[in-house]
Amino acid sequence: MNMSNYSKHMPKKLKIAIFCTTTDTVPPSSKVIHAPLWLTYYLANLLAEKGHEVTLIAAPKSKSRAKIINKKITDLKRNKTIKELIQRNLIGTSRRVMALNDQTALLDAYTSDAFDIVHAHTELSLPLAALSKIPTLITYHSSYDEFYNKLFAYYKNNFKQIYFNSLSNRHSHQAPLISFIQTVHNGIDLKNFSFNKKPKKDLLFVGRIIEEKGPDTAIMVAKKIKLPLELIGEKFAPKGQREEFWNNKIQKYLSNNIQYKGIQPHKKTKQYYQNAKILLFPDRWKEAFGLVMIESMACGTPVIAFNKGAVPEIVKHGITGYVVKNEKQMIGAVKKI
């Protein structure tokens, strides 16, 4: 359940290896929305500031205050073969190649005595962690289904050097077979998100433009309450799928009052948060956390969110926003602000 067996022998200043994925840089490039890569960036920087010896295993051109290792990493983002696979819609094949690239990048961490602990933000580290004596902390950023619940429980129960933390209490409730060492909410660097006292009257949606995230609900709320709405996020995820949802639920409603802004650089997204009256978060699935909510609140913009996943742990109802059950309640909450 805890790491006491290891912590007794660990120095106060640790040698830490941190890894997320090699599919993009740390922090992610301006055309990519990938919350775990931002969290990896923040964590590596802050642990290094605390005096720990931090090594970030990351894609070429990554930036960090920590030491960066990428000598065994192929820059797949610029690899012609991978681009062709994706263009030909061979998503499964390209993902397998990317997974192998991630595991190759991790080999050095697990075959050397250079680290006291490995913090991996991906399940792809599990087979390597099982073969190593180095303790590994796994932070899984997606919701748990039955497969991952059983898979992670197998590794937790059979390899004492592997540990898991959850992102929220509701996140841990999704995986009753796993013994989590602790719930650790995601965080951000507040220096990157400044408060704005005088926002506009616009509503804002930030996230992938897919049915599970509920952008169509945000549009209906904006139309019924007659307020401007700006949508920020990737149109298709993965590309080539979900066109029907886009065509029938999103594109047909776009106008001067309801605008799709595409993917925006992180600095630009911050400005949208600052200028918005309200962030709408009408998720249909049980989100493990939801980083956009704390980014919005850090700028002083309240959040109105469906009561799904970690939302009740993040939004203080009636103080930093409203937690609602449906579209009708969301409209009522907007009118209160």
Please give the residue range of the domain that contains residue 15: 4-183
Strands across the sheet containing 229-232: 258-260, 229-232, 203-206, 278-281, 303-306, 321-324
Q: What are the pLDDT digits (tens) for 238-276?
A: 555 678 889 889 999 999 999 999 999 988 999 999 999
pLDDT at 64: 95
Domain boundary among 113, 148, 183: 183
pLDDT at 1: 41
Per-block mean pLDDT, blocks of 10 residues, the chain (337 long): 51 91 88 89 95 94 91 66 62 71 85 92 95 96 94 96 96 95 94 88 94 97 97 74 85 96 92 97 93 96 97 97 98 97
My answer on whether 155 and 23 are in the same domain is: yes
My answer on whether 206 and 257 are in the same domain is: yes
My answer on whether 152 and 225 are in the same domain is: no
The domain spanning residue 59 has which CATH number?
3.40.50.11930
Domain boundary among 183, 207, 242: 183
Q: How many domains does the chain have?
A: 2
pLDDT at 104: 84
Tokens of 182: 């602790």
d(CA 14, CA 102): 23
Q: What are the pLDDT digits (tens) for 37-81?
A: 999 999 999 999 999 999 999 988 899 999 998 866 766 666 676
My answer on whether 211 and 322 are in the same domain is: yes
pLDDT at 32: 79
My answer on whether 51 and 137 are in the same domain is: yes
My answer on whether 217 and 159 are in the same domain is: no
Domain boundary among 183, 204, 234: 183
My answer on whether 8 and 155 are in the same domain is: yes
